[in-house]
């Protein structure tokens, strides 16, 4: 499906999502390569497809899913926003 403005898209359970030429593509998760990191998979495809027009937002969570994808977006000069997990905010306590 084509990406539309002002819409939110969620990755369904047990699926991976990629973007290619502005279209969202769903696929089954592939565990033959080890752990599945769906956010990294999407962000990497976003960086490749949209380059400097890519934007990624990471909110607090568990694990490292999203870290490599955010790096890919940043390497393409895209916009990255990350939620601070420090209890006192972005400054030292």
Domain range list for the chain:
15-82
Give the DSSP H or E segment for 19. Answer: strand 15-20
Q: Are strands 23-28 and 55-58 parallel, antiparallel or unpaired?
A: unpaired
pLDDT, tens only, 13-52: 999 999 999 999 999 998 887 889 999 999 999 999 999 9
pLDDT at residue number 83: 83
SS3 81: strand
């Amino acid at each position: 499906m084509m990406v539309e403005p002002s819409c939110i898209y969620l990755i369904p359970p047990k699926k991976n999502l990629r973007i290619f030429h502005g279209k969202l593509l769903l696929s089954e998760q592939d565990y033959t390569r080890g752990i599945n990191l769906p956010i990294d998979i999407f962000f990497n495809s976003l960086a490749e497809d949209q380059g400097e027009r890519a934007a990624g937002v990471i909110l607090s969570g568990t694990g490292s899913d999203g870290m490599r994808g955010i790096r890919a977006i940043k390497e393409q000069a895209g916009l990255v926003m990350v939620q601070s997990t420090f209890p006192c905010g972005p400054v030292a306590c």
